[in-house]
Amino acid sequence: MDHLDEISVEELQDALDNVEGKKPTQRLLVAIAYKNGVTQTELAEWYDVQRRTIYSWLKRLDTNESLEQAVTDAHRSGRKRKLSEKEQEEFENVVHDSPEEVGFDAPAWTPALVQQYLEEAYDVEYSIPSCRRLLKEAGLSYQKPRRSAAEADEDEQDEFHDELKKSGGRWTPQ
């Protein structure tokens, strides 16, 4: 099947000037190369994709819509959030305070502690990476504990090591 019989290289190049984003640009570059005699198999090797992907990219240009629209993906909203907006706000307020204020024996929020809190407070399960994302969205950033000076009092060093083990790192306001 011959693709793009009705479209000139000039039209593809004009469309290339009007698109934004990696994928639409890549799809138009593939179409231009194809029009200049490069095979689908070669293009698949160049772009490290399956040959059927190249076929699909070329096929989507055989349409009545503009080239810019044809190479651009429709918006995808993604999965619905597990927490409502109100619950998200409540969560963000909670993590700006110490975990001790909501009954946890910990000096700072960790992703694992957030995971436990969310399950207990809202009956929702989040993965550890998602808990990291939620902490970041709440305006917190990960801070590694700093080492104390070797000259520090031995009791202070022991206390520091206990706190370090307890927290496993800290999420603090940015």
pTM above 0.75, yes or no: no
**Amino acid 94: pLDDT:** 93
- Nearest one of 113, 125, 129 to 167, comparing CA atoms: 113
The chain-wide mean pLDDT, for the chain, equals 86
Q: How confident is the model at residue 39 (pLDDT cuts 50, 70, 90)?
A: very high
Q: Which residue has the tokens 């550890």?
A: 128
**Amino acid 1: pLDDT:** 43
pLDDT at residue 91 above 70?
Answer: yes
List the structure tokens of 115: 């995971």
Comparison of pLDDT for 78 and 129, the residue scoring more: 129
List the structure tokens of 13: 């190049």
Q: How confident is the model at residue 153 (pLDDT cuts 50, 70, 90)?
A: confident
Q: Using an 8 Å Cβ cutoff, are 140 and 76 in contact?
A: no
Domain boundaries, the chain: 9-71, 85-173
Q: At what angle do helices 128-137 and 111-122 cross, to 10 degrees?
A: 90
For residues 53 and 59, give the distance between their C-alpha atoms in angstroms, rounded to a whole number.
10
